[in-house]
Chain A
C-alpha cells in the first residue's frame, strides 16, 4: 500500500511537471503577452523594456528553468497583469468557486437522486418518461444560454433573486463565504442551479441505470422473495449498491466543476477561479495559467487516487498493483 502511494506520488510529480512544460510551450505558441498588455501607443523602446521586465526576453527554455527554480522554492511566479503572486491570486478566488461547486453538487444530488430512483423503479410510468425527457434538457442547452434565461426570468422579470455578483459574505475560518448569509445565499442560488443542471441529469441517468440493473440481480430478487418490504429492499439493498458509482462519478464531476465553472462565473460575474483563469487566458497571463493548472492537475490526481482506492476497498476483485506488473 505504501509502495503504491509513493509510486502514485512520484507519478503525480511527473504529471505536474509535464503540465507545466505543455502550458509553457502552449501559451508561447498562442501569442505574446506584451502585445496584449501594452498600450498601443507605446513605442518600440517601451515594448522592449516591458518584455525585459517580465522576463520574456530570455529564450523559452531559459524562462522555463527560471520558473522551475522558483517553483522548487514555492514561488509560482507573479501575475503579469496584477503584479501579485499567482498563487495568492488563485487562493483568494478559491473559496468563491468552492462554495459554488459544492452548492451545485448538493443541488444535483438532492434533486437527481430521488428522481433517478423513481425513474429506475418505475421505468415505464409516464412520470418516469417525463423525468428522463426532462433530464435531456439539462445537458443539451448551452450553459451560457440557460444562465442568461435564469437572469431574465428570476432577476429581471420576477425580481426574486439578485442578478449577478456574490453579495454579502461572512467570515468563517478566516475566509469569506457567501453561503453563511441570507443575502449571499440568494446571490448563490442562480449560478449554483446553472452549474447543477448538467449534473442533475447525470445523477438521474446514473441512478436510473443502476437501479434498473440492481433490481434484476439475484440478491434483490432473493430479498424480495424473503418478503422484505419494498421500501426496505429499495433503500437498504438497492440504494446501497447504486450509491457507490453515483458518488464516484459525482466526485469526479466535482473536480471538473471546480476547475471549469468558467462560463457560469462570467455570466453571473461570480468572482471565482474560473473567471480568473478565463481572464488570464485572454491576456496570456502565463504565471497565473501555469499555477492554476498545476493546482488543478494536483486536484484531479488526488480525486482519481481516492477513486482508485475506493474501487479497491469496495471491490476486492480490483487489486492495486503495488509491486508492479
Chain B
C-alpha cells in the first residue's frame, strides 16, 4: 500500500475536526439520493415500530383479542371484532397488519440491539487483540475460534435451558453468536493498521492506549466494520427468523417478523400466501433501507475514499 494512503489516513481525521465535521458528514451523506430515500424509509419504519401500540388496529399479543374462528382470513375480510383485516389473518386469527407492526418492534430490537451490542463487544476485543498482541491476542482469538464453531442452534438451546424463553434471551443468544464475527473482522484490519506510521507516531507521543485504540485505530478500521455491521443486522434478523423456525426464537404469542414468516411458511404451498408474504415484504424493506444507509455511511466514513 502506498504512502499517499497513509498520509490521507493520518491527515483526514485531524482535518475533520477543524471544519465542522458533522455538517460535512451530512452533506456528504446527502450526495446519494438513494441513501436519503433509505433513511426516510427507515425512519418511517422505526416510527411504526415505536408507535405500534397506538396505531395498530389490534393488539396481536393479547390472546383475549384473538379468535381462532378468524383464522387464516384473506386480506380485506371483516372479522368477528368488526374491523377489516387489510392484510388477512394468520392461523390464530391475528391481524397481519397489526402483527407486522408489532413484529417490526421485536425484529428491530432483536436485530439492531444484538448487532449493536455484539459490535461494541466484538470490535473492542478485536482492537485489543490486535493492539496488545501476544497472550491477550491468543486468548481472545482462541475464544473466537471456539465461538465460531458453536452452532447458533445449540447456543440458543442452552440459553433457553439456562434462562428460559424471552426476547431478551434471544438477544443474548444472538450477541453470543455474533460478537466473534466483529472481533475477527476488526482484528484483521487492525493488525495491518497498527504497524502504520500514524499509530507509531501516536505511540511516540505517549498518548494513552485507550485514546490510540478508539481515536486512531478504530476510525481506520471502520469501513470493513460497517460493511459487516450492516450485513449482520440483516443476518441477526434472519437468524432470529431461523431460530423461530426451529422453535427456539421469541415466544409464539409475541411473534417477530421472522416468526410470522416461519408460521406462514407451511401455508405457502397451500395458497394462503399472505401469512408469510407480507411479513416477508416488511422484513425485506427494513433490511434494504438499513443497508442503503449503511452503504453510504461506509463510503462517507471511509478515509481512503476521500477525494
Interface residues, chain A, with chain B CB atoms under 8 Å away: 7, 11-12, 14-15, 18-19, 22-23, 26, 29-31, 129, 132-133, 136-137, 139-145, 148-149, 152, 198, 201-202, 205-206, 209, 212-213, 216-219, 248, 252, 255-256, 259-260, 262-263, 277-278, 281, 289, 293, 296-297, 299-301, 304, 307, 311, 315, 317-319, 321, 324-325
Contacts and interface: CB of A to CB of B under 8 A. Distances in A.
Interface stretch (B20-28, B203-211, B238-246): B238-246
B254 interface: no
A7 B139 CA distance: 12
A139 B234 contact: yes
Contacts of B142: 11-12, 14-15, 301
A152 B269 contact: yes
23 contacts: A12-B142, A14-B142, A30-B160, A139-B234, A139-B238, A140-B283, A140-B287, A141-B284, A144-B262, A145-B261, A148-B269, A217-B2, A252-B184, A259-B149, A263-B242, A263-B245, A277-B151, A281-B153, A293-B149, A297-B145, A304-B144, A311-B188, A317-B195
Interface stretch (B10-18, B97-105, B112-120, B297-305): B297-305
B268 to A, nearest CB: 6
Given A11-B142, A29-B161, A213 B302 contact: yes
Interface of B: 1-5, 34, 132-135, 137-138, 141-142, 144-146, 148-154, 157-158, 160-162, 184, 188, 191-192, 195-196, 223-224, 227, 231, 234-235, 237-238, 241-242, 245-246, 258, 261-262, 265, 268-269, 276, 280, 283-284, 287-288, 291, 295, 298-299, 302, 304-305
Nearest to A215: B305
A136 B287 contact: yes
B295 A281 contact: no
Given A26-B158, A217-B1, A143 B133 contact: no
Given A19-B149, A145-B280, A140 B288 contact: yes
Contact of A29 (B162, B234, B304): B162
A218 B146 contact: no
Nearest to B8: A216
B184 A31 contact: no
A256 to B, nearest CB: 7
Given A152-B268, A315-B192, 11 more contacts: A23-B154, A30-B158, A129-B34, A143-B238, A218-B2, A281-B151, A293-B150, A299-B149, A300-B145, A304-B184, A321-B133
Contacts of A252: 184
B227 A141 contact: no
B158 A206 contact: no
A19 B146 contact: yes
Nearest to A307: B188
Nearest to A316: B195
A15 B302 CA distance: 36
Nearest to A16: B146
B149 A324 contact: no
A213 B227 CA distance: 14
A212 B299 CA distance: 9
A213 B305 contact: yes
Most buried by B among A7, A12, A213: A213
Contacts of A321: 133-134, 137
A321 to B, nearest CB: 5
Nearest to A139: B234
A205 B230 CA distance: 11
Nearest to B148: A300
Contacts of A219: 2
A144 to B, nearest CB: 5
A9 to B, nearest CB: 12
Contacts of A22: 146, 150
Contacts of A136: 234, 287-288, 291
A253 B192 CA distance: 21
B41 to A, nearest CB: 13
A217 B5 contact: yes
Contacts of B188: 248, 307, 311
Most buried by B among A26, A133, A149, A206: A26
A218 B269 contact: no
A18 B304 CA distance: 41
A231 B199 CA distance: 36
A309 to B, nearest CB: 13
A48 B265 CA distance: 41
B141 A304 contact: yes
Most buried by B among A133, A137, A144: A144
Nearest to A140: B287
Contacts of A206: 227
A149 to B, nearest CB: 8
B238 A218 contact: no
B265 A148 contact: yes
B145 A301 contact: yes
A296 B157 contact: no
A26 to B, nearest CB: 4
Contacts of A30: 157-158, 160-161
Contacts of B4: 217-218
Nearest to B307: A216
Contacts of A198: 235
Contacts of A307: 188
A138 to B, nearest CB: 10
